[in-house]
Structure 1
Amino acid sequence: MQIKAILFDIDGTLVDSNDMHVMAWEEAFSGIGKTFDRKTIHDQIGKGADMLIPTLLPDLDEAKREELAEKQGQIYKAKYLEQAKPFPQAHDLLAHVQARGQKVVLATSSSQEQLDYYLGLLDVHDVVTATTSGSDVEKTKPAPDIFSTALRKLPGVEAKEVLVVGDTPYDIEAAQACGIATVALRSGGFSDTVLRDAGALVIYDDVAALLADYDNSPLGR
């Protein structure tokens, strides 16, 4: 089956930002008197705030969850967003996908504001067919909403003709719920065991390694 479209996660996949999100969450939690070690927070990265906060603070009421999510976003924007850098060859991979006639979709749990910034950072406005952010859906990853919404923006393309490229088990879980397989990357800091147990089709080090092996990868077959 020829792959017609590829849905790319951004944080930890195309942009080296996962550790920055961890630090922003650490500061936000500290602001309400809560402390978690960085690994505990990192293990939840890939989820949107709507999924991450209830996992770590299940007793926090909805209003305080919203306040905490907003605070984390403010911290990330003020301290870290402009420090985030694309992984080497991230732009080249997306351009290569487009050049092969496959559609490029960015599908992230991050906010629309962050997505817009990343589009410029990656210099892919002319490469991307469609985008979906956490601002577009009721539930972020690992719920399927991000990817199911992206699929609806690809008329005539079926789930079996699509692959996801992501770095977290939550990308894989969300994709599976839509009937989509995932090519996983180690660049987000999750172990092979975690990614494989979640159901990764294959695992690469990063976008550069995937680009180098494109023709042999599930994306290029």
Structure 2
Amino acid sequence: MAVKAVLFDIDGTLVDSNDFHVAAWQEVFRGIGATFDDQTVHDQIGKGADMLVPTLLPDLDEAEHQKLGSAQGAIFKDRFIDRVKPFPGAHDLLARVRDDGIRVVLASSASAEQRDHYVDLLDARVLISKTTTADDVENTKPAPDIFAVALGKLDGVSADEVLVIGDTPYDIEAARKSGIATIAVRSGKFTDQALRAAGAIKLYDDVAALLDDYDASPIAAASATVEPR
């Protein structure tokens, strides 16, 4: 069946932000006397605070999860977001997908403020059909909520007419629970083993590599069958 929409994760996929999120979380954890190595924290990036904090600090209650998540968001905004850069090829890949008549959706659990910042950073406002944010869902990845909401915003589009592009096992797991296949990129610094084990249908080094291989990629099957809009 032809692909009618591509749901893009943002952090680690379109923009190079994962290491900055690790740094912001480490500052939060140090503030409460918790110690983790960077790899341990990195391996949870892709989850929202509602999923990340209980994994690392299982004895905290929900109010503490929210408090730490808010603190991480504030630190990230104040110290790191202006240092985040788009990955090479990110804008051009979004444009290529849109030009093929396929709807471009940013399916992220970032805050609305972060989403708007990244849309401008990617110069993608005219390319995007729909977006999601943390405000749209009760649970973040690897729960399926983000992709279920995104799919619900695409009237008349079914899960087998959609692809996800993401960088973490949690993107892939969340998409799989929604019945959607995922192309994974290595730019988020997760291992091939983790991405394949989660169910990625194909791996690329980054979005530039996917763009270079576009005609042979799983997306390209849509190009000849979807009418431009």
TM norm structure 1: 0.99
Taking the aligned partners of 2:215 and 2:159, their CA distance within structure 1 comes to 21
Deviations along 1:136-185, whole A, 9 cap, x unmatched? Answer: 10000000000000001100111000000000000000000010000000
Report what 1:210 is aligned to.
210
Taking the aligned partners of 1:151 and 1:63, their CA distance within structure 2 comes to 30
Taking the aligned partners of 1:6 and 1:96, their CA distance within structure 2 comes to 11
SS of the residue corresponding to residue 63 of structure 2 reads: helix
SS of the residue corresponding to residue 105 of structure 1 reads: strand
SS of the residue corresponding to residue 220 of structure 2 reads: coil
Report what 1:83 is aligned to.
83
SS of the residue corresponding to residue 183 of structure 1 reads: strand
SS of the residue corresponding to residue 154 of structure 1 reads: coil
Report what 1:65 is aligned to.
65
Alignment partner of 1:3 is 2:3 = yes
Taking the aligned partners of 1:69 and 1:110, their CA distance within structure 2 comes to 11
Unaligned runs of 5+ in 2: 222-229
Alignment partner of 1:135 is 2:141 = no
Shift of 1:111: 1.2
Report what 1:104 is aligned to.
104
Deviations along 1:172-204, whole A, 9 cap, x unmatched? Answer: 000000100000000000010000011000000
Report what 1:49 is aligned to.
49
Report what 1:19 is aligned to.
19
Amino acid at match of 2:211: L
Amino acid at match of 1:113: E
Shift of 1:112: 1.3
Report what 1:118 is aligned to.
118
SS of the residue corresponding to residue 184 of structure 2 reads: strand
User: Aligned residues, how many?
Assistant: 221
Report what 2:185 is aligned to.
185
Taking the aligned partners of 1:204 and 1:77, their CA distance within structure 2 comes to 29
Taking the aligned partners of 1:81 and 1:162, their CA distance within structure 2 comes to 30
Shift of 1:113: 1.2
Taking the aligned partners of 2:154 and 2:23, their CA distance within structure 1 comes to 35
CA RMSD between the two structures = 0.6
Report what 1:166 is aligned to.
166
Taking the aligned partners of 1:45 and 1:116, their CA distance within structure 2 comes to 20
Taking the aligned partners of 1:192 and 1:161, their CA distance within structure 2 comes to 25
Shift of 1:61: 1.7
TM norm structure 2: 0.95
Report what 2:148 is aligned to.
148
Deviations along 1:109-137, whole A, 9 cap, x unmatched? Answer: 21111111101110101000000111210
Taking the aligned partners of 1:67 and 1:180, their CA distance within structure 2 comes to 32
